[in-house]
Every structure is written in structure tokens, then in C-alpha cells.
Chain A
Amino acid sequence: MKTLAELNAIRDQMKNRVAARREVEDGIRVVVGMATCGIAAGARPVLNAFAEEAAKIDDGSVIVTQTGCIGICQYEPVVEITLPGQEKVTYVKMTAEKAKEVFEKHVKGGTPIAEYTIGAEKK
């Protein structure tokens, strides 16, 4: 290694891995239900889609994590997104494609996609 650019290339590649291991305050939390019901309904690709999108934002401000059964198994895969200081938004029957869209508009843009939420589904 002879230049700072080479050092920075390694840093940028590793940054997310290391950043994910520190406690983040005021981060955006994306929680994917990963109980048996969630996994059976396809939660794993949803989780991975969110994790991939989060990795593209470099600063580690988005925490993608999993949780157990939320209790609404008929709506799985269920994803809960909490922006700092805001109410939790619950998305239901998620797919990897929907996940990317939600990440773009809600997590990055700040506007929930109402039609995918549990409120819309129940009507």
C-alpha cells in the first residue's frame, strides 16, 4: 500500500461491518419478524434485501435486525420500521421487491408507503 486512496478503499469496504457492531443511538430501526411463521412466509429474502440496502448507506445509521413472532402470523412477513422520534410503522406481507421500495421511500425519504402497511391490509 503506497497511497491514502488504497487505505481508504479498504476502509470503505470494511466500514459497515465494523460500524454495525457499535451501539447506535437515534438510529433508524428496521425489524423483521423471523419466527417460524415469518420464515415460512419468506422473511429471509426480505431481511437480506433490507440489510443490503442499509449497507449501501455508508454511515451505519440504519439498523436492520430481526425479532420473533409479533403475533399476526397471517400477515407475515412483517416488518416494523421506526424513525427516531416517530411512531412505529408496521408493514405486512412483504417481499424483497417491496422491501427495496420501502427502503427508498420510507427509510431514506421519510414517507411511509401506506398501501403496504397493516392499516391498509386490514381494510
Chain B
Amino acid sequence: MVRSHVLICGGTGCTSSNSTAIMEKMKAELEAVGLQDEVSVVLTGCFGLCALGPIMVVYPEGTFYSRVSVDDVTEIVNEHLVKGRPVKRLVYDETLSGDEILSLNETGFYKKQHRVALRNCGVINPEVIDEYIGADGYQALAKVVTEMTPEEVIKCILDSGLRGRGGAGFPTGRKWEFASKVQSDKKYVCCNADEGDPGAFMDRSILEGDPHAVLEAMAIAGYAIGSDEGYIYVRAEYPIAIKRLQIAIDQAHEYGLLGKNIFGTDFSFDIQLRFGAGAFVCGEETALMTSIEGKRGEPRPRPPFPAVKGLFGKPTILNNVETYANIAQIINNGPEWFSAMGTETSKGTKVFALGGNITNTGLVEIPMGTTLREVVEEIGGGIPNGKKFKAAQTGGPSGGCIPASLIDTPMDFENLIAIGSMMGSGGLIVMDEDSCMVDIAKFFLAFTVDESCGKCTPCRVGTMRLLEILNKITDGNGEMEDLDRLEELCNYIKSASLCGLGQTAPNPVLSTLRYFRDEYIAHIRDKKCPAGVCKSLLSYTIDAEKCKGCTLCSRVCPAGAISGTVKQPHVIDLTKCVKCGACMEKCKFGAIERK
């Protein structure tokens, strides 16, 4: 009889900080005290609070242990599992209130979250199909194939208002409807698991924590459009996700939940994996399908849209991992349940990967329409080190920066576009006052320059030219006319590029120009970087009043640029200075100034 469950995170983050060894030790220790039949140890998917990993949660109490090490395991077993005394020094401090341990749902990080797509992540063992079934898994597929017509399934998804979670936000039901109406002897269902935005990892977490949810949804999609074959295009850089997907596919086959005549009906469906080599452009739908076909991953013009002519020239639907993770629950709970969440035009929830200058980094799932302020201040726990919030970047290289003045914007598809950013796949990078917005634009543009496939000129050449102008500005050689050149070029690239990559690549530049034009001007006219990031525009000087002549700075200077005698003020030779800032870090008297 199992009375306690020890859940250990087996997501990529916690695995890299040794959670597998913790699980092994836990099993061994439980056996040593004879509790192996009473306490079950479960390796789960991601809990979301990756900054605090490795994470362990003990149910039914719901005690949340953070930063657990292998050496802590014996104590947890002997104290908590044998004697019922949680090991307080390891309990996540936000759940500690005096002597009491609060429920995880009462902490800032989880309180405002609403988990739909991440429902089973951190709850079930993703490598055991029975656990997914125990969490109502495959009920939706059973209902769909035995009780519903394909039209009813599509209507249900349409009514729910679900929109694609991969970036553009196209209504999922409409996509399915198009593909269902095209007559063809063969159709395909594809899953876009080629998550490439820097900092976004929600798709990986779903694949690692709840792979069957994706398989079930793909089979439902197959039934809806009349397809019997599916492909999941997943990055080869996601080894844990690939392993668990393969296990899940094998188990689903064994149970007859994939394969021929599912639930004794005429419906058959099979899923194969295809591995991407990590090209960002392969997240674009036509490039992705070209890559599955075994060709070089390059986009092609649309129309024809994939719903008409997609993979191997056949009608195809392609949805993102997170989109699929919502499907079974919409079928089980009804479209009204789903459309009750979110805003007028954006229903349901969205998973964001929270990163950058923020206390709680990790995955958060919130109803659409939650404000950026709630995410940053309440869920994210604010900006560390007492710094001020400056901007948040959403949508990765396709998105833009939201300035502090718009922090109360409710985040949904339309609002984010209106303020010059976009939902994208849900990366959310928080920046404090020490971030230079020109440098941020440069970072994302350097990424798109690297990742541009080179097929169309506006993207291949245009983004490179943009980057060159930005480099010129941050090197201190910018002219005021460059700002107009940037804007003009951005608009050309947006309107003339072949695929989404090029069409959205200028967004980081345009949005920073819109909200932080004064910073660009400071770089150009005053030759200053207000945030103190762009090295060419910085100079370090020593305040003779404050300098005590301790010689520490001259000893740490890697360029030998600081000279002076003991107990006399030192000076920096600006011609030799490499602007590394080592002297400033070491000075105990605050005598070194960066301007």
C-alpha cells in the first residue's frame, strides 16, 4: 500500500544537476529502512521552478524541497519519511511560515498560475503509460473515435477558441477544418517540436514531462482530418525528450492506443520521430516539412498552404507541442471550459519561459490576459539585487521589448502585437536597468543573421546590413541618419522576406527604436552607453580623491594599464585599457568610475 509519493524532477534542468543520482539514492535508502512498498519514488517532468533544482516534492503533504543534494537523501528518508518531520532546512523558503509549511499553491510563484498544458508535468512519471491513463489519459481519444464524428471534433476545437501556441496564433480548429475538407488519399499530422527561440523551453518540458498528451492529441487530430500518419519533428539537442517520446510511442503501441484499429474502430494512426539538427529556420512550417522529407531545411512560398499541399505534397496540419497539450483536455472538459479562460480573443492559458534578471527563473503557465506586472513582480519574485525593471523581451528573435511604462499590459496575442512585440513561443526575458537596449537588439539580430537560411535576399543580406549599422552605433561611429536607415531597412525586410523568420527579424530593432530611441541617440550623439554595456563607449577613470593607492587595481589589470606608486592616487592609461572592468570590481573604495 503506497502512502507517500516522492516526486523527483527529471527535467533537463534538474537532470543536469544530478537528480537521477538522487532518485537512485532515495530508492536505496527507502529499501534500507523497509519503506520501499509504502513510499513510491517517481521521476517526473519539470516542476517549472528550475532555478531551485534539483527539486523533490513529497506527497500527500506536498512538502517542496529545493536544491536537494545526494547527501541530503538519508536525512529526508530518516526524518521525513520515517518520522514525519520535514527537513526544514531544505524546504523552499517561500513555503515556510514560521514553523508551518504552506502549500505550494500559496507561494508567489504558483499562486497565480493555472496549469493546463503543464497539468501533468511534475505529477506523473512520463515513462509509465499507466500513470498518464490514471490522470484521465487517452479518455479523450476513446471518446473521439467511438462517440464523435470528425466534424464534431473540429467544431469542439473551433468553439474552444484555441489558437496556435507556436507564435502566430492561428486558430487551431480552422487549420484542422481546412485540412479536413481537402480530398486526398493520404494526409499527415505533424508536431512542431523544433523549439528554437533563445531561452524558451516549454515544449521540451511538455515532451519530457507529459509525452503521451502530445501523442493523444496528434491521434485526435488525425481522426479529425482523416490522417493515419504523424511525424514529430524534434530537436536532436533534446535527448531526454526524444527518449521519453520513443518510450511513450512504444507503450502506446503495446496498448493499442496507436497502430491499427484503435479502440476496435476503423481508425488507425501511427507516429514517427524525426530529428532536427538545430537550424532555427526549421521551426518555420514549410522548412520543417521540407526537412522531414530529407531535403535541406528551407522555406518555400505560401500558398499553397500545408493544409492543401504539405508534407510529401499531401494535405498536412502542423501544430506546436503546447497547442497539442491542450487538445485532450478541451475534448474531456468541453470547449466552454477552455474558452472561459483568457481574454476575448485569446482563450486558455500560455506557458512562458521566464528568464533574465528575475528572481524565479523557470516555466510559468498563466491565463491569457495576465499582466506583465503580475508575472514579473508576483510570479517572478521581482528583480534581484534591488535593481529596477527596465523592459521585458517576449517572442525571442521575432518579438520585441516591452518597456516599464507598459508593464500593466494584459498579455494576449493582440495586445502584444499592438505594442510591437509578439507572443512568439513564449520566451520572456526580463531586463533590469543595467541592460543596454541597443545591445539587446544587436544580440537578437546576430542570432537571426546566423540562422537566416539564405534563400531570400531581404533576410540574408538585409539582416546583415542591420547588424552592421547596429555595430557601427555601439562602436561609437553612428550618425543620426542611421536611425532612419534602420527603420527603412526594417520595413523592407518585414515586407519582402519569404518566411516568418525574415518577416519578424527586424522586430527587436523596431521595438527598441520605438521605446528606447533616447538610448540610440545617446550612443550616437553623446557617444555614451547609458547602461554601461557597450565597451567602445565606456571609459574608466580613477577618482584621485577616493583612491588610497592600495595598488590592488594595478595588480588585477590584465593590460597593465594602471600605474601609480603605493599610497598615491593611481591613473588609468586609456590607450592601454581594454575596459574589462576588473579594476572596478576589485576597488574597495569605489574610486573607479565608469562613464
Contact = CB atoms under 8 A, between A and B. Distances in A.
Contacts of A36: 83
Contacts of B94: none
A11 interface: yes
B131 A17 contact: yes
B123 A18 contact: yes
A93 to B, nearest CB: 18
Interface in A24-42: 24-25, 32-36, 39
B142 A33 contact: no
A54 to B, nearest CB: 9
A21 to B, nearest CB: 5
Contacts of A33: 84
B83 A64 contact: no
Given A1-B255, A1-B257, A47 B3 contact: yes
Contacts of B3: 47-48, 51, 64, 66
Contacts of B123: 18, 21-22
A19 B124 CA distance: 10
B77 to A, nearest CB: 13
Given A35-B83, A65-B60, A2 B263 contact: yes
A86 interface: no
A35 B85 CA distance: 8
A67 interface: yes
B32 interface: no
A11 B139 CA distance: 9
A48 B35 CA distance: 12
A15 interface: yes
A68 B5 contact: no
Contact of B146 (A1, A4, A52): A4
B131 A14 contact: yes
A89 interface: no
A7 B142 contact: yes
Given A34-B83, A65-B61, A68-B85, A3 B263 contact: yes
Contacts of A4: 142, 146, 263
A11 B133 contact: yes
Contact of A21 (B7, B85, B261): B7
Contact of A66 (B2, B84, B130, B261): B84
Nearest to A10: B133
B82 interface: yes
Interface string B253-273: 001110001011000000000
B84 A7 contact: no
B134 A15 contact: yes
B84 A23 contact: no
A25 to B, nearest CB: 8
Given A17-B2, A23-B103, A67 B134 contact: no
A14 B130 CA distance: 7
A51 B40 CA distance: 14
A85 B146 CA distance: 43
B410 to A, nearest CB: 27
A10 B257 CA distance: 13
B16 interface: no
Contact of B1 (A2, A34, A51): A51
A48 B1 contact: yes
B135 interface: yes
A18 B261 CA distance: 29
B247 interface: no
Given A3-B263, A7-B142, A23 B62 contact: yes
A4 B130 CA distance: 14
B593 interface: no
Contact of A67 (B57, B84, B105, B264): B84
Contacts of A64: 3, 60
Contacts of B146: 4
Contacts of A22: 123
Nearest to A67: B84
A107 B158 CA distance: 44
B255 A18 contact: no
A7 B133 contact: yes
A63 interface: yes
A39 B263 contact: no
Nearest to A52: B1
Contact of A34 (B84, B137, B257): B84
Contacts of A68: 83-85
B105 A14 contact: no
Contacts of A113: none
Interface string B113-132: 00000000001100000110
Interface in B122-166: 123-124, 130-131, 133-139, 142, 146
Contacts of B105: 23, 25
A21 B83 contact: no
A34 B81 CA distance: 9
Interface string B59-86: 1111000000000000000000011110
B134 A2 contact: no
Nearest to B38: A48
B267 to A, nearest CB: 12
Given A21-B59, A68-B84, A7 B139 contact: yes
A20 interface: yes
A123 to B, nearest CB: 28
A28 to B, nearest CB: 11
B104 interface: yes
B318 to A, nearest CB: 28
Given A10-B134, A65-B84, 4 more contacts: A17-B5, A34-B83, A34-B84, A66-B4
28 contacts: A1-B263, A2-B261, A3-B263, A4-B142, A4-B263, A7-B133, A7-B139, A10-B130, A11-B134, A14-B131, A17-B131, A17-B134, A18-B134, A19-B134, A20-B59, A21-B5, A21-B42, A21-B57, A21-B124, A32-B84, A34-B83, A39-B83, A48-B1, A48-B3, A51-B1, A55-B1, A63-B60, A66-B84
